[in-house]
Amino acid sequence: MHHSWRFSVSLFFQLGIFLSCQIVSCLADASPSGLQWELSTLKAEAAHGEETLSLEFSFSNPSSGSIKITAIEAHCGCVQVAHPELPWIIEPGTAQSLPVDLNLRGKQGRFYQEIMVVVGSEQHSLAVDIMIEDPVHRPMSPQERAKNKQQAMKDSKAIFKGQCATCHVVPTQGKYGPSLYEAACGICHDSETRDPDVPDIKAKIKQADRSYWRAWITEGKKGSLMPGFSKKQGGPLSGSQISTLLHYLAAPAAK
């Protein structure tokens, strides 16, 4: 009986050692610990009008075994990932990079896209997070402001041309009433950094009549920074747009 007890205890410990070895062996035979990414999300800023941007994900294989990348998937055609032919074998102890080319044409504001890297049964989620400069609300240098003012004094319609159109024409498209006021008028007249020659007109809203506002909006004023915004005067606004703007600005008609 005594020997039987000793045999049972010995068998128990041997079985425990055997199972521990099997677990360690299984872990050793399993896929390597995985790729290590320096950053899984790349953040950057892009200037307005910038058409392309190139970024690079850095990663390494810190394990003692090779790692096989079997697939790399981007969810948008505007994201092109440059990589060797798949499967891509990442040797142990090596560092690599994954270049990404972004097509930013026509993009505004935040541009966020995900990229999936498949390693065996695992998926590594990467992302690019780009903030594209807002041309309307970006800070303007004193030099830029002085240059723009000089051009506008020579030709009040200069704000409807070239780069200036990005701020003074494009935002007005498809806008009416209050939203049109913000896009066409408020950008200059409500700005905290407006030029001294640009008046604050808020106090006159709903105080002046339609003829007052119509003259300023459609014809502008020669020798000033105020251009005529009607299409007949070379501006961007249609007759229907101006009508809704007048309705928003003008004092109610006397009954």
The predicted-structure confidence for 40-84, as pLDDT tens digits, reads as follows 999 999 987 788 999 999 999 999 999 999 999 998 889 999 999
Six token digits for residue 236: 């961007």
Write down all domains in the chain, each with its CATH number in brackets: 36-132 (2.60.40.10), 142-249 (no CATH)
**Before 87, cis peptide (omega within 30)?**
yes
Give the total residue count for the chain: 255
Mean pLDDT value across residues 210-216: 93
Let me know: does 160 contact 166? Beta carbons within 8 Å.
Answer: no
Please write the tens of the pLDDT for every residue from 214-227. Answer: 999 999 988 788 99
**Taking 80 as the threshold, does the pLDDT of residue 36 lie above it?**
yes
User: How would you classify residue 7: left for phi > 0, otherwise alpha for psi between -120 and 50, otherwise beta?
Assistant: alpha
pTM of the model: 0.48
Residue 164 has a pLDDT of 81
Torsions phi, psi for 57 (to 5 deg): -85, 130
**Taking 80 as the threshold, does the pLDDT of residue 5 lie above it?**
no
Six token digits for residue 157: 């319609």
